[in-house]
Amino acid sequence: MRRTTPGLFEELEPLIAAAGARHPQWLVLIEPLREVASVADDPVWDDAAGRATLPNRRDADAPVLHGARLAAPAQLLAQLITRVTAWSVSVTDAVTLIEGAIRGDRRRIDRIAFAADQDAAALATLADLAAMPLLQSCARVHHARIPQHWSHGYCPVCGTWPVSAELVGIDRSRDLRCGRCAAGWRAPQLRCPYCGEQDHERLGSLVPEATRETRFIETCKSCGGYIKTFTTLTPAIGFELTIKDLDSVELDLAAIEQGFARPAEPGFRLDVQLAAG
């Protein structure tokens, strides 16, 4: 399988290795993440994103990729999924898996998992990882289509709920970040990304003593959701978001212990068609 040129992966590898050393229980995800990140800056992804057909008009609430027809580098996808799942997958199944991941359609993934005698939940997670290079290229190539003022909590590119929030720079402006396509969008300081709650009495935070200056949890009593928040001088880039998510599992455990959870369903279900390119 073709590898990326030196640069992006060389910068990510130490972060991935450090996260794996601190959280050996996540090696089942960190090793596939390493495989995906190693091909993420292959030009083929940007080529595929550039050949996407996007609707000229869409509803103001719809993400950029809603209604899109994407061309997939199918052979590369099949090789990638074979590497991360350790079982041989056909080109047709690879395209179906990635389309199902992008659309949030678990039924397609479940059918392939059943036919191949694979764990459906694990396969869905790995398909999400394998879809990230294409989605991140789509976010980069079509960045000009992202609305300047996006009022929703779900991603303006792919419709996923944010994986985290970032308080950026000296003024600590709050940006929500998508864990799949890595898009970022400005959000009010006191507003739940999931249900839109703005009542400060319904919004709260869990602040671990050891990381109170750099990372904490925002919570919402109205919907029971939580989001991890990081203070940073510069926004995380691409797969750094996934690494930070895996490397901050203690925040997830703290939130879950208090009865909070991330939404199980996507923020917006994309209507996307993926064809072998």
The residues, ordered by sequence, that sit 6+ positions from 83 with a Cβ below 8 Å of its Cβ are: 1, 32, 35
Burial (CB count within 10 angstroms: exposed 0-12, middle 13-18, buried 19+), residue 276: middle
End-to-end CA distance of the chain: 17
- What SS3 class is residue 208? coil
58, 92, 176 from 179: Cα distances, Å: 23, 26, 10
Position 8 scores a pLDDT of: 58
Place of tokens 């980069």: 140
Q: How far apart are CA 178 and CA 163, in angstroms?
A: 6
Taking phi over 0 as left and psi of -120 to 50 as alpha, with beta for the rest, 159 belongs to left
Chain center to CA of 132? 7
Q: Which of 248, 211, 251 is CA-nearest to residue 19?
A: 248
**Tokens of residue 49, six digits:** 């994103």
**pLDDT tens, per residue, the chain with 277 residues:** 433 444 555 677 777 777 777 777 767 778 888 889 888 889 999 999 999 999 887 788 999 999 999 988 889 999 999 988 888 889 999 999 999 999 999 999 999 999 989 999 999 999 999 999 999 999 999 999 998 889 999 999 999 999 999 999 888 899 999 999 999 999 998 999 999 999 999 999 998 776 667 899 999 999 999 999 999 999 998 889 998 998 888 899 999 999 999 998 889 999 999 998 7
- The residues pairing with 230 across neighbouring beta strands, listed in sequence order, are 166, 215
**What pTM was estimated for this model as a whole?**
0.90
Position 6 scores a pLDDT of: 42
Q: How far apart are CA 123 and CA 113, in angstroms?
A: 7
Position 1 scores a pLDDT of: 41
Position 211 scores a pLDDT of: 66
Tell me, what amino acid is at 109? I
Burial (CB count within 10 angstroms: exposed 0-12, middle 13-18, buried 19+), residue 119: exposed
Tell me, what amino acid is at 31? E
Angle between helices 74-85 and 27-37 (to 10 degrees): 160
DSSP type of residue 26: G
Q: How far apart are CA 209 and CA 217, in angstroms?
A: 12
Chain center to CA of 220? 21
Q: How far apart are CA 248 and CA 267, in angstroms?
A: 23
Q: How far apart are CA 203 and CA 222, in angstroms?
A: 8
**CA gyration radius for the chain?**
18
